[in-house]
Amino acid sequence: MNRSMIDLWVGVFVAMGLIALLFLSLKVGNLASFSTAESYQIQANFANIGGLKVRAPIKSAGVVVGRVTDVRFDNESFEAVVTLNIDSRFQFPKDTAAKILTSGLLGEQYIGLEAGGDPTMIKNGDRLKLTQSAVVLENLISQFMFNKAQEGKDSK
Amino acid sequence: MNAIRHTLTQLGNAVTRRLTRLGVASRFFIYLLWHSGTAFQRFRLTIREVYFAGVLSLIIILVSGLFVGMVLGLQGYDTLQRYGSSEALGVLVALSLVRELGPVVAGLLFASRAGSAITAEIGLMKATEQISAMEMMAVDPIARVVAPRFWAGVISMPLLAALFSAMGIFGGYLVGVQLIGVDPGAFWSQMQAAVDIRQDVMNGVIKSVVFGIAVTWIAVFEGYDAPPTAEGVSGATTRTVVTGSLAILALDFMLTALMFTGGNAK
């Protein structure tokens, strides 16, 4: 095996490896959506976030517009403070409502944004006022049981 | 009483011997890093070794990657379709390959294909006194022989792991989409939504670099440390494969624990 053949093969090998890495980052992982592009952060308080995790998607009308970057507990209001990182291409009115929703019956939880009608747009660092907590199954069941019991009492 | 004393002495002896060996290996590693200038100044030496460690491992890596991906596609589909979520096949195949199987299986194959060859070569050079001859000519054998092989391994390993993962995903695509008929749009889009560049792809690359360093270090050390006999070289080659594979598995567990629990533990 002479020198130039070795060089050729090593060149082919390194090129293939780099193409594989490129394939992994572009086609498998979505480099396009991993934009270091402009984004702004807003916060929202929730009474209960259920199973919401950091890096959960934020969707509006079903389209992913950002990601949850931080979840922490506020020890003064006893509420969860969720930081939302939203792509700057998407602007929302000030009275936008944030809900914690579940994709599918048992799927992961995400934040759904519903745009309001306010003419002023939300800015970096603002706080969403209208929020709706995650649905906790136990609460739902106990509510249902309580209502049933009430009905039974009324009909007597 | 004597028997206990004997056992304890043996235990102590075994521990000290292992520790000494680890110490020698660490000093060897530092010396190697310190004297790897030649490997980069005369880069042709390293390129030659990349050919032997990387290019000649291509076939086994590509074929194993393809088949691992195809098996993942079949098995994953079988399980996922019970829950009616066969579209998540792409996610399953891509995540398991990029995070774990790619670096680990490529590392194990690399240890047995290239690591053993490196050990045998260096060991045989030592047995035939080529290493001593170099020392006589005032050529540092570590700079001339060991460092190029080490760096070639460190360069080849991440590329091989990436090729393994890419080939595996292609295999999963072949079986899942072409053979079984999962929707190709869902296959790729769910995969892209779930695989994160930094969290998954980058961590996989970091893992493969760490495995490359560990395996080649073990290989060159075992070769350089081998008793200069036929038996010694064969023993060293076996030890390279066994220790290298165990090191990969142990390191993989530690790296996974570091990389993938931080986000969820929050």
Q: pLDDT of A6-38, one tens digit each?
A: 888 889 999 999 999 888 888 777 665 545 567
Q: Answer whether residue B214 is part of any domain.
A: yes
* Beta-bridge mates of residue A81: A45, A72
A73–chain B Cβ distance below 8 A for any pair:
no
Q: Answer whether residue B226 is part of any domain.
A: yes
Q: What pLDDT does A121 receive?
A: 87
Buried/exposed B141-170: b ≥16 CB within 10 Å, e otherwise: bbbbbbbbbbbbbbbbbbbbbbbbbbbbbb
Q: Answer whether residue B150 is part of any domain.
A: yes
Tell me the average pLDDT of chain A.
83
Tell me the average pLDDT of chain B.
90
Q: Do B211 and B156 meet the contact criterion of CB atoms below 8 Å apart?
A: no
Q: Is the pLDDT of residue A154 over 90?
A: no
Mean pLDDT of A87-108: 82
Between chains, do A13 and B205 touch, taking CB under 8 Å as contact? no
pLDDT tier at B266 (50, 70, 90 boundaries)? very low
- Nearest partner of B126 among B30, B53, B222, B25, judged by Cα: B222
Domain of residue B108 covers: 22-260
Q: What pLDDT does A31 receive?
A: 62
Tell me the ipTM for this assembly: 0.79
Residue with the two structure tokens 């001339």: B144
Between chains, do B163 and A6 touch, taking CB under 8 Å as contact? no
Q: Is the pLDDT of residue A4 over 50?
A: yes
What pLDDT digit, counting tens, does each position of B174-209 carry?
A: 999 999 888 888 888 888 878 888 788 889 999 999
- Percentage of chain B modeled with pLDDT above 70: 98
- In terms of CA atoms, which chain B residue is nearest residue A71? B266
DSSP H or E segment with residue A1:
none
Distance from CA of A108 to the nearest CA of B (A): 12
What letter represents residue A17's amino acid? G
Please give the tally of structural domains in chain B.
1
Q: What pLDDT does B215 receive?
A: 95
pLDDT tier at B120 (50, 70, 90 boundaries)? very high
Tell me the helices (H) and strands (E) count for chain B, helix number first. 13, 0
Between chains, do B192 and A33 touch, taking CB under 8 Å as contact? yes
A11–chain B Cβ distance below 8 A for any pair:
no
Distance from CA of B242 to the nearest CA of A (A): 27
- Nearest partner of B123 among B38, B219, B212, judged by Cα: B219
A6–chain B Cβ distance below 8 A for any pair:
yes
Q: Answer whether residue B107 is part of any domain.
A: yes
A47–chain B Cβ distance below 8 A for any pair:
no
Q: What pLDDT does B75 receive?
A: 92
What pLDDT digit, counting tens, does each position of B140-153 carry?
A: 888 888 999 999 99
Q: Is the dihedral of CA B235, B238, B243, B246 positive or negative?
A: negative
Mean pLDDT of A92-113: 83
Q: Is the pLDDT of residue A58 over 50?
A: yes
Return the higher-pLDDT residue of B67 and A52: B67
User: Which of A3, A20, A64 shows the shortest C-beta gap to B166?
Assistant: A20
pLDDT tier at A156 (50, 70, 90 boundaries)? low
Q: What pLDDT does B171 receive?
A: 94
Mean pLDDT of B245-250: 95
Choose, out of B57, B167, B201, the residue to mutate when testing the contact with A (most A CBs < 10 Å). B201
Q: Answer whether residue B121 is part of any domain.
A: yes
Q: Is the pLDDT of residue B237 over 80?
A: yes
- Percentage of chain A modeled with pLDDT above 90: 4
Between chains, do B162 and A21 touch, taking CB under 8 Å as contact? yes
Tell me phi and psi for residue B34, to 5 degrees.
Answer: -65, -35
Domains of chain A, residue spans:
1-34, 39-141
